[in-house]
Every structure is written in structure tokens, then in C-alpha cells.
Amino acid sequence: MVDVIPEPASVHRYGTDFWEPGPDTGLAVGEGAEPTARWLRSVLGAATGLPLAPASPDRDGVIRLSIDPEATRSPAAESYRLTVTPGGAHVVGGGPAGLFWGAQTLRQLLGPAAFRRAPLPGGQWRLPLIDIQDSPRFRWRGLMLDVARHFMPKDGVLRYLDLMAAHKLNVFHFHLTDDQGWRVEIKRYPRLTEVGSWRARTKFGHRASPLWEEKPHGGYYTQDDIREIVAYAAERHITVVPEIDVPGHSQAAIAAYPELGNTDVIDTTSLSVWDNWGISPNVLAPTDNTLRFYEGVLEEVLDLFPGEFVHLGGDECLKDQWRDSPTAQARVKELGVGDEDGLQAWFVQHFDNWLSARGRRLIGWDEILEGGLAQGAAVSSWRGYEGGVTAARAGHDIVMCPEQHVYLDHRQADGPDEPVPIGWVRTLEDVYRFEPVPAELTPGEAAHVLGTQANLWTEVMEDPARVDYQAFPRLSAFAEVAWSALPAPAERDFADFERRMTAHYRRLDALGVGYRPPTGPRPWQRRPGVAGRPIEGQPPNK
């Protein structure tokens, strides 16, 4: 048995013997394999102290890296084969990404100490004689990180990209804007970060909590920071999908530029970046000025993020101000869209067309289905399976991220020590038994499931240690759901997963991840006296 996570498709172990890399072990690098070789030298060189010098592939005692030229243009581009014999190891990727994932498996097989940044005294390295063939189930294996509610400095983001790569996750959904903060520099509109990137104080715990942290909170990424993050992700075969939320979740932008709000209903000049959680009633005005403003924002966003998709939110847009606004009601009549839901659909459709004209694709939360689905848009199905089913049956691509299963801000147990308990109890086993493809879809409809994504909303995650606690170990279980060809949920071997997690916890320890132990939170991970919302069936709004 091998303790690899996510579980490979095929593993054949040859007896109980091992091959032991040593100071003379070289690295033989085939055409196109140099990026993975650089990464492998960096992480294994640091952990083992081995030089991994360039070597000929014809000699024994080498680690060979190569790419199958026949597979790079097929769905097998993320596949790999890892073979270890008494003469060395060979990783063959279906493409550059597959080679990189194979190198991640090689690192796991070397043991937890291979995840450290310096060699331990007396370290001895060995690889089991083995043949592994593997490929992912889904092309979209995502993690959404909300940096708007609580800002995560750049180094923390880079660390999470490494943690994603170690679990073969390949889409980083970067939630950059919300009512509580704007986190990306837009040079055309400097007040978005001058004003919108910080708030005067922060609610501590659930929004019903009486506690406040009475100090400013903020931060943002410069455009060079973003370029660095995107490049760092690309080196790890991770695509970054930015989210710029419209037309709701926009109070930070309105605080910076009051003309973006519904000025005929409220005094938008009195607004500040929101310091509470929940859903702000202050939404964007459906005006041409707002459209032009966000086109300007998106022009810079497209320059920073080269990937196919741009996420425009579209969720939880409270429409009370639109109902009361003569300007909004005149727009409903002018456009002939019927009501406020139609107005939101028009708003989303505008940017769907705008992005399509520039060779990109819009993706949004499943509320973009309301009032008519934007043509060409993909859907992140968060309120359950229904939105994904509706979208797939209409011929739209979907990413399944239902809050009932993969919202990792939700509590992991119902005990009194669980810190700031939020939403439904979702244990490690619950996440492991999540099935991304809705059962009611036909095979043709199921082909629209691009994949799945776990979401980390950070209202109650005040620092990176809390993010670690909520993410792990459940993100390890989710990674296996996203990568491995598992049986039906009820038939999955959770006992075997727990057995493999015993070794994986030691890898997480070596990486410095502050995960939730299987026995419950450590004393310093608890938050006594901080109110949550431990009500079954009533999770908090984003």
C-alpha cells in the first residue's frame, strides 16, 4: 500500500524493496521537462540536501523526467506515469502539467520530511519499487479564497498555491472584491484601493456577535503583486480566476466612488467600507456610468489575468434600492426587461458580451440564472445542486460548489470547542463523500460539469491560522474527490482514506499547516465566547 493523496488510478507495488536516492543521484531532463526539474530541484534539494545534478538518462541511479509527445494535445495532458525500479525513477507526463503532478506524487513517496525546507539530521531517502498510472477525473479542481473579508498578504497566497499544488488542485478562484474591501490595484481608479481597501473596524464572529475588533483592517495587491501571483500559479499549473463582484457585494467600490451607487435613493457619499457581515443593501446603480466604470476595471483585470474565465459574482444582489429608484425603474422600462431580476440579467449579459468580444468567458454564481441565463456564461452552483442542473440542461458549463457540502467556513463538528461555529456540520467524511455530478443529469448534460470547487469564505477567519484550520484536513478529502475516480459516495472507502491521512498529517505538519486534528481543536485553536451561528439548515450568507 502507498499513502498517496489524492488516490492514484492504478498502483502496482513490486514487493517490499526500495530504491534509495543519494548524493550521486542525478536528474535527467527531457525536452519540455525543465520547469518541473527546476521545481523538483528547489523543493527536494532544500529538503534532502541532494544536488540532483544534470545526468544522462542512460545511466543508473537517476530520476528521469520526460513528456509523452503523443499525449500533450489530448485530455491525457494531465496524466502521468511514475515508475521506480532498482535503477532509478522515471516520471512521464502526458503534458507539462501531468509531469508536474507526477513529481508531486514522487515527493509524497519520499516521506513527510521531503516537505521540509531544510534536511533533518541523519535523513535517509528511499522510494518503493512501484508503477503508478494516474489522471484526473475533472479539469476544474478549484479552491476559492475570499481575501475581501479578511485580507491575506501576498506570501500567504503564494503558500496556498503551494498547498493546492501539493494536492493536485489547479484552479485558484481569487475573490478580490466585496462590501468589506477591494483588494486589487486599478490604476485608472486609485480610490478603489486608497479608500476601498480598508475598513475602520471589523465584526468579530458571526454578524449577530456583539464583539468588534476596534482597529483598521485592510490591504491590497499591487498590479505587480498580482502578476507575481499569476506567474507563481502558472509555474504550478494553476489557473487564477479573478472575481470582481457585481452588481451586489459592492459597498467598498461605492464608498470609493459614490456615483456608482443609487444616488436617487440614498446619500452614497455617507457610505464607508462595510464593517459587518451578511449582505449589504447598497448595490450598483444600473447606469451607463456604472457600465463604463467596470469596463475600465475589467480592462486592467484582463491584462493581469490571462486565463479563460473571469468571475463576476452576480450573487445576493438585494434589489430594494432598485425598486425604490426612479432611475432603475426607468431603466427596467427602457430595456423592457420586466422587473428587477430582468435588470440584473441585463447587467450580467452586458459583461458576458463584453468579455466574449475579448476572447474571455464570464462565470458567475447561480443567481445569474434569475431573470434569464446570460448566453455563454458558466455557472458556479453554490446554493445546492439545482442551479447546476438547470444550467447544464440549458447547455451551460458548470462548476459544482454547493454550500451544503464544500463550504469550508462551515463548522467541522458540533462540539462546544469548535471555534466560531458557522452553518452546517461538515466533517472530513462528509466532504469525502461529496459527489460533484448531480445524479439527475444525463450523460450529455453531465459533460457540462467542468469540475468542482471548495470555497473558503473568511468572515470568521481573522488570520492565516484560522484559514488553515477551516481548510485542512477537509481540503485533502476534497482534492481526492476532485482528482480520483471514486465509486459512489456510499461505497467510498473512508477507512482507507483515514489510513492514508495518517501519513498525510505528517506532511501537513512538515509544511506548517495548522489543521484541525481528528480529535478536535487544540486549545489555541478555540475561540471561547465568540458567537457563531450553529443552526442546522441556516448557514450564514456570504
Q: Which residues are catalytic?
A: 178, 249, 316
Cα–Cα distance measured from residue 466 to residue 116, given in angstroms and rounded to the nearest whole number: 22
- Supply the angle between the helices 288-304 and 340-356 in degrees, to the nearest 10: 40
What element of type H or E holds 256? helix 251-256
Cα–Cα distance measured from residue 315 to residue 485, given in angstroms and rounded to the nearest whole number: 31
The three cell numbers of residue 256 are: 470609493
Q: Does residue 85 sit in helix, strand or coil?
A: strand
Residue with cell 541523519: 122
Q: Is 118 exposed, middle or buried (0-12, 13-18, 19+ CB in 10 A)?
A: exposed
Q: What are 212's strand-pairing partners?
A: 203
Q: Which of 198, 204, 143 is nearest to 175 (CA)?
A: 143
Strands (E), 408-516: 449-456
Q: For residue 351, report the phi and psi dihedrals to the nearest 5 degrees.
A: -80, -25
Q: Does residue 177 sit in helix, strand or coil?
A: strand
Distance linking the first and last C-alpha atoms of the chain: 41
Q: Does residue 70 sit in helix, strand or coil?
A: coil
Q: Which of 470, 453, 300 is nearest to 366 (CA)?
A: 453
Alpha helices in 257-394, H assignment, sequence order:
288-304, 320-324, 326-335, 340-356, 386-393
Q: Does residue 174 sit in helix, strand or coil?
A: strand
Contact in structure between 424 and 410 (CB atoms under 8 Å): yes
Contact in structure between 134 and 101 (CB atoms under 8 Å): yes
How many CA atoms does the CB half-sphere of 15 hold within 13 Å? 7
Q: For residue 39, report the phi and psi dihedrals to the nearest 5 degrees.
A: -65, -45
What element of type H or E holds 241? strand 239-246
Q: Does residue 150 sit in helix, strand or coil?
A: coil
Q: Which of 87, 101, 103 is nearest to 42 (CA)?
A: 103
Cα–Cα distance measured from residue 314 to residue 365, given in angstroms and rounded to the nearest whole number: 6
